Structure formats: structure tokens, C-alpha cells
Amino acid sequence: MPEVKYLETMITAAQIDEKVTDLARQIDRDYAGKDTIFLGILKGSYVFMADLARKVHLDQLEMCFMMVSSYGDATTTSGNVNIKLDLENDLTGKHVLIVEDIVDSGNTLAYLKSYLANRQAASVKICTILNKPSRRKTQLEPDYCGFAIPDAFVVGYGLDYAQKYRQLPDVCILHFEGEEAGAEGGKRI
């Protein structure tokens, strides 16, 4: 595992808060009066989902979680989707909004959309705080998106590297030993 050199702030906590408020307004409008489930994908989505849930005003909102992985402790996806914790909720006729921290290759979410649709959900859409379209390996695009970001390894706001850095309030680029220097505003760790 490469050694971490420093963090560079990409998106501040204030920018994230403003974007989550905007996303909540869109979701309130689109899901008003619908039997809705927020489905958080653990572990990364928990911070975003908590913030988003507190900002929406839906009367019929259920929240549940799944644990799905294709990364492990690596910095790139393995391509193999592994359901570690499935949900027990009945999805029949309900509108499922998958709440995710980042859409990268799209493989995991494409798999999940199909998996959940087969459980008779009325609709399955995706809301992500971060979208990395340059890494996409599927035709999948999120229905609600906070920020499109370049191809960099990011941590914070629920995202991790080897289970570390999830607690950071900002989204930060993780720089490793041996990388070219040049990021201003980075903080050594």
C-alpha cells in the first residue's frame, strides 16, 4: 500500500453543505407524495445520507443501508461486486433513491440498479455527492449529482483510503509518496 504524502482540499465543507441543500430541494420536488426509500451504500455514503436526510422534507421516507464493495483497500475497483450486507426492506411499489458518496466506474451501481429493480421497486435512481465521469466503464449516469470531479483519489466526507480519512469535513485529494509535487494548499499529514 503506497504511503500517503499529503492532502489537498478539493471541495470545502461549506461548498458541500450548499450543494446538499440544492440536492434536497430537487429531491423534495421530485419525490413529493411518493413512498420513498433512501438506500445508503455503506460505508462511504453515511455522512452524505445523514446530511441529505436532514435537509429533505418528505413525509413518507424510509432509510436503509446495504454494504457493497468492489474496492477493498485498493485505490482502483476490482470490477467484482460483493454484497456484504443486503437490505431486508420490501421494495414493492416504492421509489428507491440510492445515496452514494461517489460514482466512479459505475459497475457497482449498474449492478445494484438491476438488482433492486428485480425486487419490484417502482423506480430506482441514484444520488451522489461526487461523480467521476472520466472513470466510467458503463453507460450509467447519476440522476442527482453534487460535483463532477477529475480523476484523482479523494477522501473525506465519508470517503476513505484503507478505512482512514472518512471523518474529514472537506473532500481532499490524497497524494502519495513519489507523486509529482505541485498541489498548493495541501496539508502534510
Listing from the earlier edge strand, what are the strands of the sheet with 171-176? Answer: 154-155, 171-176, 4-11, 186-188
How high is the pLDDT of residue 187?
A: 46
User: Is the Cβ–Cβ distance between 171 and 159 less than 8 Å?
Assistant: yes
Query: What pLDDT shows up at residue 178?
Result: 73
* pTM greater than the 0.75 cutoff: yes
Q: Which domains does the chain have, with CATH numbers?
A: 13-150 (3.40.50.2020)
Running along the chain, 189 residues long, what does each successive block of 10 average in pLDDT?
Answer: 86 98 98 96 94 95 88 55 84 95 90 90 96 88 96 94 94 84 46
pLDDT at 78: 52
The active-site residue, picked from 51, 104, 160, 170, is 104
104 included as an active-site residue = yes
Q: How far apart are CA 36 and CA 38, in angstroms?
A: 7
For the chain, percent helix, then strand, then coil, each to nearest 5? 25, 35, 40
pLDDT score, position 180:
61
